Amino acid sequence: MNLLLCGVNHKTAPVALREKLVCLIPDAGVAYEHFQAWPEIAESLLYNTCNRVELMCVTETPEEAAALVRKFFGRHPEIAPADLETSFYVHRGQEAVQHFFRVAASLDSMVVGEPQILGQMKAAYRQATEYRSTGPILNRLVHKAFSVAKRVRCETGIGDHAVSVSYAAVTMAKKIFGDLAGKNVLLLGAGEMAELALEHLKGQGVARITVANRTLSRGVQLARRFGGEAVSLEETQDQLLTADILISSTGAGDILITRDQVKGVMRRRKQRPLFLIDIAVPRDLDPGINDLDNVYLYNIDDLKEVVELNWERRKHEAGKAERLVAAETLKFLHWLETLEVYPTIIALKDKAEAICQAELKKTLGQLGPLTIEQRQALEVLTASVTQKLLHDPIIFLKRNRRPKNPHQELDLVRRLFNLDPDRNQEPSEED
Amino acid sequence: MTNFFLLLTLMAYFGATGLWLAYFLVQRESYYRAGGWVMAGGLALHSLALIQRVWSLGHLPAASVGEALLLFGWVLVAAFLLLIWRYPIKVLGALVAPLAALMVSGALLLPREHGTISPLLKSFWLTIHICLTLMGYAALALACLGGILYLIQERQIKGKRFGFFYRRLPSLSVLDTLNYWCLTIGFPLLTAGIICGSLYAQHTLGNFWNWDPKEILTIIAWLIYAVLLHERLAAGWRGRRAALLAICGFLVLIFTFVGANLWFAGYHNFARFIQQP
């Protein structure tokens, strides 16, 4: 049994190609039907995350299986064979397991340590089990991958540090307010980064979201999306009285809110802390505001600095995670190896059983009528002779394995007992 | 026997100091929890020592600086354990534990004076006066320590330094809430302690107020806290100013506790409490 992993990811394929390949997946039923129809593929799991489309499968004949999968990936009418030429990769055995674990632990992602990937893989696995396309090997591999991912998350600090500007803003807010539940957010202007920050804040349970935009319709649209309300830019001053967090990202050319404005507002708000985030370039908020008591002003550069620092930390933690993945990969491969000897053991036992039955039949025919006890005694005799004879070869298979070349011994036993009578008996695969 | 318990207490407090400092450095939860248990064990031993001393003296041991420190340390540790049980500001332990350890060391190192104590100082009212005041001190001490943490964390956030302290210290709001609670608990206790003492003074000395140096300093501290509490409630003062005032107020209190005994003579001076035989 061989593990084979093939597909394309963000490192090898441009987003356009990945998007086309993802189109093949919604029809997972069709895809799995294909895989199940191919005798080359015993078990399969097809999954995609934001940055990859990959197929993990168990196969006896990796070469042929890889070629088939590649053909399957090329089925999309808009994909040229040349596209796949450079972006399609194939991992086998240890590499495949390690790659799979790394994906699950979010070490292979564009944003290392992002938490969504595990959820996507779980969904893909659920789908695969619905189509019964996974078997004992993939089931175990997937569960191991999930546990590796969990361990990486718990034992390393890979997900601890915010690595996007919008999320960094949220962690800063938490250092000021502690709990963000019940806080009011005011958004000046609308922009992609501001929206992302809003999404994070919404996730933290903020009470009210207000959007002030130059074009009211855009503001209304955005406010509706987040269940907030829209006001005009002129109302900013009044809104400042009730807001706790302000995110400013207007395209205005000069300062929108001055130091004195905020100073006046602070007195009226009884000094409740105010967190101002200025992600506009040029800046919307007077930098002097940061000197006021209980007011904290961050601009885009400050936030970027946080993010960069956190990237460094995350990279450091990723190193620890890689070691963990490597160790778990070896453990899994070891399990896989022990799995490999079972068919041989079963074949050995079957062969012995068949010989016993044949010989018993012959002997019983020659001996004539026997009592039931005598007959049973004969059966027990043959059974125990073969059992004792096979005991040592089985132990040899299970225990005395050479880690460097596990197949050698397996092969020897199969040839010794002639378990594959069709196979060429000449010593051709000796190494 | 008391000293034996106190030595064990001291070891426990130093142990908790080590554990909580380790928690502060490596942020491992188990260190924090172990620190809590060691501290609680220390408090139990500390209580035994105090009970033993009260038993043998027949009154509250507060007639020398050492004894007062011993008592104050006990109240502080008890107040802190109560605090982190309900409102876990975990890193605060790294400040409280060494402080408690220092107080117990002081109690052990400072000479114990022997002599008779005037019956005036054995009164039940005086015991109440001491207990209330020390409980107030403990709450205000926690406000001061919280204030120090607040100032450090505020500096990190304002100055955009996201390093060592930024990651380990709690949020500003948590620290400011600590300031508020300690103040609202500590200030009434201090006030009640002062009133109690002044009633007793009227009863025994014939005057509510004697302009003793310790009394003057205490009233200054009291005024600082009164201003802080008033401004907090009325004008919404908080954050840095509140932290600064809490620290100032407590420095004055410390000065009344230690300085007044060393440099000023007055009837509150510890040296007057014990008449040499």
Q: Is the model's pLDDT at A416 over the cut of 60?
A: yes
Query: What six digits make up the tokens of A36?
Result: 């199940």
pLDDT of B167 reads: 83
How many helices (DSSP H) and strands (DSSP E) are in chain A? Answer: 15, 10
- Give chain A positions within 8 Å (CB) of B157: 172, 175-176, 296
Give residue A428's pLDDT band: very low, low, confident or very high (50, 70, 90): very low
User: Which of these, A171, A205, A193, lies nearest to A247 by C-alpha position?
Assistant: A193
Residue among B170, B174, B240 minimizing CB distance to A293: B240
CA distance A109 to A51: 7
The interface residues of chain B toward chain A in range 223-262, judged by CB-CB distance below 8 A, are 235-241
What is the rounded average pLDDT of the residues A115-119?
Answer: 82
pLDDT of A307 reads: 83
User: Which of these, B117, B141, B167, B111, lies nearest to B225 by C-alpha position?
Assistant: B141
Give residue A424's pLDDT band: very low, low, confident or very high (50, 70, 90): low
pLDDT of B113 reads: 66
DSSP code, position A289: G
- Give chain B positions within 8 Å (CB) of A273: 172-173, 238-239
pLDDT of B260 reads: 66
Q: Any idea which fold A2-155 has?
A: Beta Polymerase; domain 2 (3.30.460)
Number of CB pairs, chain A paired with chain B, less than 8 A apart: 49
What is the rounded average pLDDT of the residues A215-244?
Answer: 86
Strand B116-117, strand A274-278: pairing = unpaired
The residue behind tokens 């168990």 is: A58
Residue among B160, B171, B236 minimizing CB distance to A270: B236
> CB–CB of A417/A357 below 8 Å?
no
The interface residues of chain A toward chain B in range 256-285, judged by CB-CB distance below 8 A, are 269-273
Amino acid present at B51 = I
CA distance A157 to A155: 7
> CB–CB of A169/A163 below 8 Å?
no
CA distance B161 to B153: 10
CB neighbourhood size of B55 (10 A):
9
> Greater confidence, B259 or A277?
A277
Inter-chain CB proximity B236 and A272 less than 8 Å: yes
Please tell me if residue A288 touches chain B, with a CB cutoff of 8 Å: no
Inter-chain CB proximity A302 and B160 less than 8 Å: yes
The Cβ-side half-sphere exposure at B171, using a 13 Å CA radius, reads 15
Alpha-carbon distance B264 to nearest alpha carbon in chain A (angstroms): 39
Please tell me if residue A95 touches chain B, with a CB cutoff of 8 Å: no
Alpha-carbon distance B252 to nearest alpha carbon in chain A (angstroms): 25
Please tell me if residue A311 touches chain B, with a CB cutoff of 8 Å: no
Give residue A136's pLDDT band: very low, low, confident or very high (50, 70, 90): confident
pLDDT of A429 reads: 44
The residue behind tokens 């994909």 is: A79
pLDDT of B276 reads: 53
What is the rounded average pLDDT of the residues A22-43?
Answer: 80
Three-state SS for A230?
strand
Q: Is the model's pLDDT at A280 over the cut of 70?
A: yes
- Give chain A positions within 8 Å (CB) of B171: 174-178
CA distances to A91, A104, A134, A146, A196 from A125, in Å: 20, 12, 8, 11, 29
Inter-chain CB proximity B240 and A272 less than 8 Å: no
- Give chain B positions within 8 Å (CB) of A183: none
CA distance A390 to A386: 6
Three-state SS for A276?
strand
Asked if this assembly's ipTM is beyond 0.90, the reply is no
The full DSSP string for A50-71 is TTEEEEEEEES-HHHHHHHHHH
- Give chain B positions within 8 Å (CB) of A179: 173
Find which of B89, B173, B179 to mutate to test the A interface (most A CBs within 10 Å of its CB).
Answer: B173
The residue behind tokens 């409740």 is: A272
Q: Annotated catalytic sites of A, by residue?
A: 50
Q: Indicate the domain borders of chain B.
A: 1-112, 118-277
- Could you tell me which CATH number the domain at A165-307 has? 3.40.50.720
pLDDT of A82 reads: 77
CA distance A381 to B40: 72
Q: Indicate the domain borders of chain A.
A: 2-155, 165-307, 340-416
Residue among B157, B173, B240 minimizing CB distance to A178: B173
Query: What six digits make up the tokens of A299?
Result: 């601009």
What is the rounded average pLDDT of the residues A355-369?
Answer: 89
Three-state SS for A411?
helix
How confident is the prediction along chain B (277 residues), in pLDDT tens digits per residue?
A: 667 888 999 999 999 999 999 999 988 889 999 999 999 999 999 999 889 888 888 777 777 778 888 889 999 999 999 998 888 888 899 999 999 999 989 888 877 666 667 776 777 888 888 899 999 999 999 999 999 999 999 999 888 888 788 888 999 999 999 999 999 999 999 999 999 888 888 888 777 777 777 888 889 999 999 999 998 888 888 888 899 999 999 999 888 877 766 666 666 766 666 655 5
Inter-chain CB proximity B236 and A179 less than 8 Å: no
Most confident of A62-76, A152-166, A316-330: A316-330
Closest-CA residue of chain B to A290: B158
Q: Which residues of A88-172 form beta strands (DSSP E)?
A: 89-92
Say how many Å lie between the first and final Cα of chain B, rounded: 24
**Stated length of chain A:** 431
> CB–CB of A176/B172 below 8 Å?
yes
Report residue A295: phi and psi, to 5°. Answer: -120, 135
Q: Do domains A2-155 and A165-307 have the same CATH topology?
A: no
User: Which of these, A307, A198, A287, lies nearest to A247 by C-alpha position?
Assistant: A198
Mean pLDDT value across chain A: 84
- Give chain A positions within 8 Å (CB) of B166: 175
Q: Is the model's pLDDT at A171 over the cut of 80?
A: yes
